[in-house]
Chains A and B, each alone.
Chain A
Amino acid sequence: MTAAAPPVTDQVRDRVRDAIAARTPLRIAGAGTWLHAGRPVRADRRLEIAESAGILEYTPGDLTLTALAGTTLDEIARVTRAEGQWLTLDPAGSGAGTLGATFATGSAGPLAHAFGLPRDHALGLTLVTGRGDVVRAGGRVVKNVAGFDLTRLAVGAWGTLGAITELSVRLRAVPEIDVTIAVAMPDGPDGGPLAERLALVRQAPLRALAVELLNAPLARATGAGDGQLLLVRLGGNEPLVRAQRDTLERLGDSREVPPAVWASLRAAEPAGSAVVRLSARASRLAGLWGVAREAGDAGSGALCHASVGRGVVRAIFPAPRQDALASLLSRPMPSTLICESLPAPLWDSLAPGTAGDRLSTGIRDAFDPDHLMNPGVFGEPAA
């Protein structure tokens, strides 16, 4: 399937060049669903990318697809599903989110357990840099080491190097069977039993697509069940799925749940929430889980889920209280803390600025010397 590429990249380039001439900072906007993340972007004008939607090339036999950045994840799912394929990314939010925003923010969901992050899916992209030039990085084939890797650089850069206008991504075949099993997990203030159970899960002979721990409030909110539980997504042929279901039964009370729980999980974040992620080596997950639990108890409750294989806890605070968040964020932790979304007034006081090291500063200056593209989005101070 091929369509003539509209000169979207040229239009974006012209708008960026106008902004450079007028020294107008730009906020890059896809579907606009991320703008509530509260990131303190200091921009006068929006650079709309969502208008540029459409699939440019899709050859199912190659398991690759090229689309304009404004194409929604729903549209990609619709087109690829018809060929028995899918883009194995399920970031928080909904299918109305765009391909460009997913890669620009490096957002991933539970499927990252098996398939990795956007960086692992990107084959190439077109970037209109903050200098107003057009970079065509990577390519459309599944292996490529030609030249320095500008693709990896732009993915997860939150638009600070430029606006992504086109992306080529790797697809996968939809598994023959795709089922989700909920397994009850021990709960309670003493994290010991949970830690032991999670260790068993990580050592179990599973080749799951996703293994996600949900706390009781989130399990209830998503309709996955009552009490703290593990959601395990199994894919493959019948004997493979059956063997893994047997394994899960040995790990705790288990039952099949409708696949819709994954969409509910992605959309579990009420408007105005604060969302933070804690991560460490996977063996230390139970400890992180305890930290998130305490923060929830101290505030007004938290919806928590965690990628068991990746060691990442995502805590959603639907009614964030500054004191509870401040104590969580200021707590010395031998782990990594990322603020995904905070109410705007809290951002400046709570979130640590990132990307301030010499290399990151140099890269920013090399691609966007006037700091016109999403300035402030990493929480960095004004120049």
Chain B
Amino acid sequence: MTGTDAGPLATRLAAIVGGRHVLQRRSELLVYTSDGLPGYRKHPSLAVFPGTRDELIAVVRLLAGDGVPFVPRGAGTGLSGGALADGVLLLGLNRLTRILALDADNRLATVEPGVVNATLSRVASAHGLHYAPDPSSQAACTIGGNVAENAGGPHCLKYGVTLNHVVAITAILPEGDIVRLGNADGETEGYDLAGAFVGSEGCFGVALDVTVRLEPDPPAVRTLLADFSSIDAAARATSAIIASGILPAALEMMDGATIRAVEASIYAAGYPVDAEAVLLVEVDGLAAGLEADVRTIERLCRAAGARQVRVAADEPERARLWQGRKKAFGAMGRVSSHLVVQDAVIPRTLLPEVLARIQDIGSRHRVSVCNVFHAGDGNLHPNIAYNAGDPDETGRVHRAMREMMRACIDAGGTITGEHGVGLDKLEYMEQLFTADTLAAMCRLREVFDPLRRSNPGKVVPVHSCREWTMAPSVRRAVPPPPAA
């Protein structure tokens, strides 16, 4: 789309949503040129923010009629560049913030896509319920964004990720059809369309509403902090806890560099600054039996070499321990101006080896790697603080990150556990998946979005789709892609 097209389209969009909710000046669009992952800057041509479901439907249908590509965006807290619009229209969903229904008896809530994750839990708390997936950005990120990314969070170890909590979605497809995916009133038969939509990173259309499962608040919670003089020992403790049969609500690891950054920040949580690793372990459920689990975990941590194991005495202490974890990325801001956060999953038993490889890769490229991650799931988040103004350092950071991803793939892992592919991980998709598998992903996408207009260019490398589109057997079933 070119600038000259933007005028009339903007006028027609303004007629739907009101002039205040269509942005086209470069200065106004500046805030939408990045998401939670620094390092990418992409300028949308135009941004539109519908305020109601009807406005959203009208906007999507107008865009369909004109064949205009668009990028759906929630709060823009994503960490893969997934919500960046490169010269195309940005469709902001953060004004759609109504909780449409809360069925406390059946522990279900139906919400609009712009409802903030933490807001849903806060509203549900009046009924003794909460929404379990808790990404670190939960104070800002939206349920629609969580659905797009299949977001996780520390408590997904026990309770599952977004996929396991979504029971139904009403979506508008890019061509304007409204579809019902999944079933909130009983079982689903036929293809798991809701399952396919969750994690589709905005490439399958836009959710109009999402029905999610809520969890009862646990009557009792215990949070432990164990500190270790080596990452290895903390990794061994992790394996021992999981093998014991206890399923903690969360099992998080922070390495020494992270601990020291947190403790030097306003989020200081009282972590021991001379530790090389801490484990934050939380168990929850009925009060009965929980103390026995706490004692088992304490024993296993000490057996693995923990110097000290501390159980949070009260809710303020527990909240403080968690704040240090959840704000760890923010605390890195003290170290350097930019932070690149990686997201990969490896088999849990390989944590010690892979973490050692990551440290080694970091030293070879002279970058300092911090690790703060979901140890119980084997979901790593190595992150590197750096100065993006220094091209040499930036180059070394990117080379190191590439090698780390390769190490995780070689260990039998995957390139993203909860942040999504977006733009940032596109280059790894062919390392992870065969050409036939990527082609199948393209075919699936085109069932939802035949012209690939919704979040174009994300998730699957464009050439992986082009190659299969050339095959004559495919051409008859699918409309041709838009001219480049």
Please report A residues at the B interface, Cβ cutoff 8 Å. Answer: 59-64, 84, 106, 116, 119-120, 129, 131, 133-137, 139-150, 152-153, 155-157, 172-176, 205, 207, 236-244, 277-283, 310-312, 334-336, 338, 354-355, 357-360, 362-363, 365-367, 369, 378
Task: Tell me the B219-265 residues at the A interface (CB within 8 Å).
Answer: 219, 239, 242-247
Whether A282 lies near B161 (C-beta < 8 A) is no
Chain B CB within 10 A, most for which of A84, A134, A142: A142
Residue of A whose beta carbon sits closest to that of B444: A148
Question: Mind listing 17 A-B residue pairs with CB under 8 Å?
Answer: A142-B378, A144-B414, A146-B432, A147-B432, A147-B437, A147-B460, A153-B444, A155-B192, A156-B190, A173-B247, A175-B245, A241-B289, A281-B184, A311-B106, A311-B186, A359-B181, A363-B444
Kindly list chain B residues whose C-beta atoms are within 8 Å of the C-beta of A156.
188, 190-192
Chain A CB within 10 A, most for which of B196, B242, B246: B196
Chain A CB within 10 A, most for which of B149, B164, B345: B345
Q: A143-B156, A152-B195 are in contact. List 4 more A-B contacts (CB 8 A).
A: A135-B437, A283-B105, A336-B189, A366-B446
Q: Which of B190, B345, B349 contacts A144 (CB 8 A)?
A: B345
Kindly list chain B residues whose C-beta atoms are within 8 Å of the C-beta of A133.
436, 439-440
Q: Which of A64, A145, A279, A365 contacts B477 (CB 8 A)?
A: A365
Whether A312 lies near B187 (C-beta < 8 A) is yes
B416 within 8 A of A: yes
CB distance from B204 to the nearest CB of A (A): 8
Whether B242 lies near A63 (C-beta < 8 A) is yes
**Which 7 A-B residue pairings sit nearest by Cβ, starting from the closest?**
A240-B289, A336-B186, A152-B195, A279-B186, A243-B288, A173-B245, A143-B417
Determine the distance from Cα of A136 to Cα of B378 in the docked complex, in whole angstroms: 21
B198 within 8 A of A: yes
Whether A152 lies near B196 (C-beta < 8 A) is yes
How large, as a class, is the contact surface on chain B?
A: 35 or more
Kindly list chain A residues whose C-beta atoms are within 8 Å of the C-beta of B437.
135-137, 147, 150
B434 within 8 A of A: yes
B36 within 8 A of A: no
Determine the distance from Cα of A84 to Cα of B292 in the docked complex, in whole angstroms: 19
Determine the distance from Cα of A191 to Cα of B122 in the docked complex, in whole angstroms: 36
Kindly list chain A residues whose C-beta atoms are within 8 Å of the C-beta of B349.
59, 61-62
Whether B378 lies near A141 (C-beta < 8 A) is yes
Residue of B whose beta carbon sits closest to that of A161: B191
Whether B378 lies near A145 (C-beta < 8 A) is no
Q: Which of A61, A84, A149, A358 contacts B195 (CB 8 A)?
A: A149
A145-B199, A149-B198, A280-B185 are contacts. A120–B164 as well, Cβ < 8 Å? yes
| Selected interface stretch from B326-334, B357-365, B419-427 | B419-427
Residue of B whose beta carbon sits closest to that of A142: B377
Kindly list chain A residues whose C-beta atoms are within 8 Å of the C-beta of B293.
237
B103 within 8 A of A: yes
Kindly list chain B residues whose C-beta atoms are within 8 Å of the C-beta of A243.
286-289
Task: Tell me the B128-176 residues at the A interface (CB within 8 Å).
Answer: 149-150, 152, 156, 160-161, 163-164
Whether B196 lies near A240 (C-beta < 8 A) is no
A146-B429, A148-B203, A153-B191 are contacts. A240–B286 as well, Cβ < 8 Å? yes
Kindly list chain A residues whose C-beta atoms are within 8 Å of the C-beta of B179.
357-359
Whether B196 lies near A141 (C-beta < 8 A) is no
Whether B196 lies near A149 (C-beta < 8 A) is yes
Whether B247 lies near A334 (C-beta < 8 A) is no
Residue of A whose beta carbon sits closest to that of B103: A281
Whether A237 lies near B292 (C-beta < 8 A) is yes
A120-B164, A281-B185 are contacts. A359–B434 as well, Cβ < 8 Å? no
Determine the distance from Cα of A206 to Cα of B144 in the docked complex, in whole angstroms: 31
Determine the distance from Cα of A299 to Cα of B242 in the docked complex, in whole angstroms: 50
Kindly list chain A residues whose C-beta atoms are within 8 Å of the C-beta of B447.
359, 362-363, 366
Whether A64 lies near B438 (C-beta < 8 A) is no
Chain B CB within 10 A, most for which of A143, A157, A174, A176: A143
B183 within 8 A of A: yes
CB distance from A40 to the nearest CB of B (A): 16
Task: Tell me the B387-433 residues at the A interface (CB within 8 Å).
Answer: 412-421, 425, 428-429, 432-433
Whether B460 lies near A148 (C-beta < 8 A) is yes
CB distance from B219 to the nearest CB of A (A): 6
Whether B199 lies near A237 (C-beta < 8 A) is no
CB distance from B171 to the nearest CB of A (A): 10
Whether A143 lies near B377 (C-beta < 8 A) is yes
Kindly list chain A residues whose C-beta atoms are within 8 Å of the C-beta of B347.
59, 62, 64, 140-141
Determine the distance from Cα of A334 to Cα of B184 in the docked complex, in whole angstroms: 12
Whether B444 lies near A119 (C-beta < 8 A) is no
Determine the distance from Cα of A255 to Cα of B244 in the docked complex, in whole angstroms: 29
B30 within 8 A of A: no
Residue of A whose beta carbon sits closest to that of B471: A131
Residue of A whose beta carbon sits closest to that of B349: A61
Whether A120 lies near B415 (C-beta < 8 A) is no
Whether B245 lies near A176 (C-beta < 8 A) is yes
CB distance from B151 to the nearest CB of A (A): 8
Q: Which of B190, B285, B378, B445 contacts A148 (CB 8 A)?
A: B445
Determine the distance from Cα of A334 to Cα of B203 in the docked complex, in whole angstroms: 33
Residue of A whose beta carbon sits closest to that of B419: A145
A146-B416, A282-B106, A359-B448 are contacts. A172–B247 as well, Cβ < 8 Å? yes
Whether A355 lies near B191 (C-beta < 8 A) is yes
B379 within 8 A of A: yes
Whether A139 lies near B413 (C-beta < 8 A) is yes
CB distance from B183 to the nearest CB of A (A): 6
Determine the distance from Cα of A266 to Cα of B242 in the docked complex, in whole angstroms: 30
Residue-wise, chain B 196-217 has the 8 Å CB interface mask toward A (1 for contact) of 1011100100000000000000
Determine the distance from Cα of A334 to Cα of B186 in the docked complex, in whole angstroms: 10
Determine the distance from Cα of A367 to Cα of B434 in the docked complex, in whole angstroms: 16
A143-B156, A207-B285 are contacts. A378–B187 as well, Cβ < 8 Å? no
B315 within 8 A of A: no
Determine the distance from Cα of A335 to Cα of B106 in the docked complex, in whole angstroms: 15
